[in-house]
C-alpha cells in the first residue's frame, strides 16, 4: 500500500500513524553528496531510495541545504540534476545566499556592495543578486576599475572589461547602504580593504574615513562556516574564516568590534526556510499535510548538526567530509553517526517506518 494514497482510504490505525510521522530530509552537499567535483556513489543510491525505489514505493520529500553558492537556484538545480541523476526542482535548492532575498525589502533599491562569488563568468554573481530583486548592486571589481590604487597589489582581471561586466560609477558619490558577502571572497586582501573602507566611512562612501563613532553600515555574510570539506586531504577555510579576518583588521584599524548578520547553517532562519520548502515539497508529492519528522544529513557538526539540534530536527553525521573520528567526538552531538549518506537514509527510513526500507527483489 502506498503512502501517497489518501489516508482516509487506509485502515484507521495506519492512517493515523502515517499522518503523524512523515519523514523528510535536508541534505548538505559538500562532504555528503559530493567530494569536490566528484559525486559519491552512496549519494546516488540514497537519492534513488527517496525517489521511490524503496520498500513502500513512495517518493520522500527532501531539499538540499548548502552553505555553498554562486549560481542561481535554477542553475544549481540543473547542475545537481545532471550530477546526481535525479530530478531536481529549483525550489529544492537552498544555498547560503538564497535566504538573503529577505533583505530585498530593506535594500532592494539602495546601493549595495556585493563581495565574493565565482569569477569564471564576470558579473554572474551580480546577476544572481539582481535576480533576487536587488536593483543597485556594485562589486569590488567595479571599484577597482574606478580607482586601481584602491588596492594596488592586484589588478582587475581584464575579462571584466572585455565582457562589459564592469558597472561604471563615480564611487566618491555612491553611499553604500549595506555590504553583502554573497559567497567566498576570491581576494581577501582587496575585499577586506574595500569592506573596511566602507565600514569606517562616515557616510558609506569608499575612502571617507570618519572618526569611527558613526553607526556602522549594515553587513551581511551568507554563511559562517569556518571550515569546509572538498577533495583536498584537509579541511579548507570557509567564509567564517574570512569573517574572522575582516573582524580582526576592522578592530585593529578602527578599535571597534565588527557588527554583522550571518545567514546559512547553523542559523535558525535557514532551517525555517528549509522547513517551509519541505512542507511545500510534501504537498507537491501528493502527501497529505501533517507533521514532518525531518533528518538533516551533514558532515559538519558546527553547522549542519548544530543547526538541526537548535531547530529540533533529527540529524545524521557522515564520515565523508569535515568530521573525522580521529579528532574525537563531535562538538555538536547528532542523532547518529554513519559512514555515508546512504547509511543515514536507510537508518532514518527504517526508524521512521519500523521496517526495512530497501525494496525486496
How near is the Cβ of 128 to Mg ion at its closest, in Å? Answer: 21
Residues 77, 268: Cα–Cα separation, whole Å: 23
184 binds Mg ion (CB under 5 A): no
Helices 341-353 and 41-50: crossing angle, nearest 10°? 30
* CB of 29 or CB of 128, closer to Mg ion: 29
Which of these segments, 8-16, 20-28, 33-41, 79-87, binds Mg ion (CB under 5 A)? 20-28
Q: Give the helix, strand, coil percentages of the chain, each rounded to 5.
A: 40, 15, 45
Residue ranges in 6-72 assigned as alpha helix (H): 12-20, 41-50
Residues 243, 323: Cα–Cα separation, whole Å: 22
CA-to-CA separations, 67 to 157, 195, 218, 224, in angstroms, rounded: 26, 21, 21, 8
Q: Mask: binding to Mg ion, 251-290, rule CB under 5 A, as x and -?
A: ----------------------------------------
How near is the Cβ of 325 to Mg ion at its closest, in Å? Answer: 17
* CB of 29 or CB of 180, closer to Mg ion: 29
* CB of 95 or CB of 141, closer to Mg ion: 95
Query: Is residue 36 within 8 Å of 231, Cβ to Cβ?
Result: yes
Bond into 266 cis (ω within 30): yes
Cα-trace Rg, the chain: 22
Q: Can you tell me which residue has the cell 540514497?
A: 46
How near is the Cβ of 87 to Mg ion at its closest, in Å? Answer: 23
How near is the Cβ of 314 to Mg ion at its closest, in Å? Answer: 18
* CB of 141 or CB of 315, closer to Mg ion: 315
Mode of pairing for the β-strands spanning 227-228 and 62-65: unpaired
How near is the Cβ of 25 to Mg ion at its closest, in Å? Answer: 15
How near is the Cβ of 342 to Mg ion at its closest, in Å? Answer: 16
* CB of 270 or CB of 300, closer to Mg ion: 300
How near is the Cβ of 175 to Mg ion at its closest, in Å? Answer: 37
What residues between 23 and 42 interact with Mg ion by CB under 5 A?
28, 30-31
* CB of 201 or CB of 300, closer to Mg ion: 300
* CB of 31 or CB of 240, closer to Mg ion: 31
> Residue 229: how many CA atoms within 13 Å on its side-chain side?
24
Strand pairing partners for 201? 209
Total residues binding Mg ion (CB under 5 A): 6
Q: Mask: binding to Mg ion, 289-328, rule CB under 5 A, as x and -?
A: ----------xx--------------------x-------
Exposure string (b/e) for 216-241, b if CB count within 10 Å is 16 or more? bbbbbbbbbbbbbbbeeeebeebbbb
* CB of 142 or CB of 225, closer to Mg ion: 225
Is residue 15 exposed (0-12), middle (13-18) or buried (19+ Cβ within 10 Å)?
Answer: middle
How near is the Cβ of 293 to Mg ion at its closest, in Å? Answer: 22
What residues between 109 and 138 interact with Mg ion by CB under 5 A?
none
Site residues for Mg ion per CB under 5 A: 28, 30-31, 299-300, 321
Amino acid at each position: 500500500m502506498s503512502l501517497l494514497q489518501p489516508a482516509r482510504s487506509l485502515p484507521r490505525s495506519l492512517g493515523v500513524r502515517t499522518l503523524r510521522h512523515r519523514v523528510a530530509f535536508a541534505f548538505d552537499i559538500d562532504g555528503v553528496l559530493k567530494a569536490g567535483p566528484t559525486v559519491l556513489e552512496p549519494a546516488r543510491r540514497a537519492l534513488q531510495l527517496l525517489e521511490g525505489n524503496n520498500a513502500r514505493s513512495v517518493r520522500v520529500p527532501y531539499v538540499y541545504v548548502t552553505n555553498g553558492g554562486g549560481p542561481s537556484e535554477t542553475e544549481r538545480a540543473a547542475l545537481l540534476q545532471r550530477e546526481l541523476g535525479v530530478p531536481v526542482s529549483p525550489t529544492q535548492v537552498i544555498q547560503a545566499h538564497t535566504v538573503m532575498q529577505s533583505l530585498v525589502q530593506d535594500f532592494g533599491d539602495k546601493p549595495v556592495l556585493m563581495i565574493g562569488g565565482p569569477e569564471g563568468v564576470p558579473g554572474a554573481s551580480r546577476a544572481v543578486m539582481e535576480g533576487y530583486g536587488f536593483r543597485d548592486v556594485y562589486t569590488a571589481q567595479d571599484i577597482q576599475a574606478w580607482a586601481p590604487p584602491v588596492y594596488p597589489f592586484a589588478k582587475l582581471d581584464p575579462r571584466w572589461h572585455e565582457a562589459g561586466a564592469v558597472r561604471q560609477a563615480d564611487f566618491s558619490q555612491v553611499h553604500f547602504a549595506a555590504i553583502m558577502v554573497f559567497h567566498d571572497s576570491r581576494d581577501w586582501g582587496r575585499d577586506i580593504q574595500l569592506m573596511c573602507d566602507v565600514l569606517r566611512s562616515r557616510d558609506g562612501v569608499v575612502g571617507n574615513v570618519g572618526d569611527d563613532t558613526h553607526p556602522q553600515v549594515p553587513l551581511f555574510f551568507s554563511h559562517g562556516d569556518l571550515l569546509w570539506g572538498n577533495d583536498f586531504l584537509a579541511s579548507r577555510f570557509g567564509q567564517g574564516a574570512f569573517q574572522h579576518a575582516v573582524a580582526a583588521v576592522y578592530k585593529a584599524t578602527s578599535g571597534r568590534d565588527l557588527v554583522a548578520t550571518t545567514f546559512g547553517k547553523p542559523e535558525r532562519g535557514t532551517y525555517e526556510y528549509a522547513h517551509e520548502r519541505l512542507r511545500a515539497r510534501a504537498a507537491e508529492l501528493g502527501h497529505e499535510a501533517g507533521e514532518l519528522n525531518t533528518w538533516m544529513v551533514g558532515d559538519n557538526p558546527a553547522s549542519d548538526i548544530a543547526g538541526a539540534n537548535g531547530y529540533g530536527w533529527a540529524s545524521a553525521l557522515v564520515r565523508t567530509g569535515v568530521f573525522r573520528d580521529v579528532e574525537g567526538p563531535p562538538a555538536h552531538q547528532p542523532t547518529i553517526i554513519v559512514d555515508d549518506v546512504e547509511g543515514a537514509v536507510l537508518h532514518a527510513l527504517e526508524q521512521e517506518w519500523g521496517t526495512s526500507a530497501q525494496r525486496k527483489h
